[in-house]
Amino acid sequence: MAEGDSVRRLAARLDGALAGHDVVAAQFWRGGFEGGRLLTVAPVGKHLLMRFTSGQTVHSHLRMQGSWRIHRPGWRPGPATDQVRAWFDFGPAGVLAAHAMPVLEVLPTAREDQVVGHLGPDILADQWPQQRPTAVTAITAAPDRRIREALLDQRNVCGIGNLWAVEGLFIAGVWPHTPAGDVDADRVLELIGRMMRLGLRNGTQSTTGDLRRGRTHWVYGRYRRPCRRCATPVAFVPAGDGPYDRETWWCPFCQPAPV
């Protein structure tokens, strides 16, 4: 799943390439798109909002498989094009197409709260330092909930994905199944926010500082491999049925369970 930093990089790329250009032709899978000039492409957590002078916003969420691609001027999807649900022709700036996009809709810009109003503070937004206490309060409001689930619940704080939650908890030395009420949530959020900002600046999701292939993460995706700190085999539990019960990796020594 695209995480907050990935979506923010995508938004910056699309905004830089297409903002200020008029849509000269378009096809939207459900209709209802009126065109106009693209004003801005804005990220909100893992959501992407494209705002037009028509007073409309195109809202998308990439989840695991979706992508926005800029094709050459005049491009049109053909029979072999993979699941294009919409395209927007920006003339000489190229054609923007939504490939395999699981969430894609048009709504009035004035009603964006319908799709992002439920989200907690964005961990990568400029206002995050002032809003972090709100996220801490939301996470600890359910003290018996496991911390990794609380971090992934976008209603508490938006933009954190499974990779950043897993790696952040390792760096903080917190067992992922610890009740949220027993965790210094402010410290964990500060660590994750710092990592994500560094990754955003460097264009990478490395949490170790090592960009070599296979060396970018401490525990994420490393089941049974030795912990990079203590050599203890990394533990793992598969995803459960809950919406925030994701695959989890941790070091039993560096992140010990409470006795």
Per-residue pLDDT reduced to its tens digit, 117-129 = 999 999 999 999 9
Q: How many whole angstroms separate alpha carbon 221 and alpha carbon 181?
A: 27
- From 151, 181, 155, select the one nearest 166 (Cα to Cα): 151
pLDDT tens digits along 60-87: 999 989 999 999 999 999 887 778 999 9
What CATH number has the domain bearing residue 238?
1.10.8.50
User: Does position 227 have pLDDT exceeding 80, yes or no?
Assistant: yes
Q: How many structural domains compose the chain? A: 2
Q: In sequence order, which ranges of 51-120 are alpha helices (DSSP H)? A: 113-116
Please check whether residue 20 lies inside any domain of the structure.
Answer: yes
99 and 160 in one domain?
no
Looking at the fold, whether 109 and 185 belong to one and the same domain comes out as no
| Residue 93 within any structural domain of the chain | yes
35 found inside a domain = yes
Q: Are 175 and 251 in contact (CB under 8 A)?
A: no
Q: Of 81, 116, 151, which closes a domain?
A: 116
Q: Retrieve residue 155's tokens.
A: 């209603």
| Structural domain for 54, as ranges | 4-116
**Mean pLDDT for the stretch of residues 166-170:** 97
Phi, psi of 140 (to 5 degrees): -85, 0
Whether residues 33 and 143 share a domain: the answer is no
Question: Are residues 89 and 187 both part of a single domain?
Answer: no
97 and 136 in one domain?
no
- Has residue 60 been placed in a domain? yes
241 within some domain: yes
Q: Which CATH number belongs to the domain containing residue 68 in this structure? A: 3.20.190.10
- Tell me how far apart the alpha carbons of residues 45 and 120 are, in angstroms, rounded to a whole number: 9
Domain presence at residue 64:
yes
User: At residue 209, does pLDDT exceed 90?
Assistant: no
147 and 246 part of one domain = yes
d(CA 70, CA 89): 10
- Specify whether 9 is located in the same domain as 61: yes
Q: Residues 99, 135: one domain?
A: no
Q: Which two tokens stand for residue 8?
A: 């923010």
Q: Is residue 198 part of a domain?
A: yes
Question: pLDDT > 70: what percent of the chain?
Answer: 100
- Let me know whether 70 and 175 are in one domain: no
Quote the CA–CA distance of 140 and 40 in Å, as a whole number.
35
Instruction: Please compute the mean of the pLDDT values over residues 183-191 and round it to a whole number.
Output: 97
**Which domain-ending residue is among 62, 92, 116?**
116
Residue 203 CB coordination number (10 Å): 10
Specify whether 90 is located in the same domain as 177: no
Is 90 exceeded by the pLDDT of residue 217? yes
Q: Is residue 259 part of a domain?
A: no
Judge if 65 and 112 occupy the same domain: yes
**Full-prediction pTM beyond 0.75?**
yes
Do 223 and 191 share a structural domain?
A: yes
Output 213 or 67, whichever has higher pLDDT.
Answer: 67
Last-in-domain residue among 65, 83, 116: 116
Going from the C-alpha of 142 to that of each of 22, 118, 133, 175, 216, the distances in angstroms are 47, 17, 15, 17, 32
Check pLDDT > 70 for residue 1: no
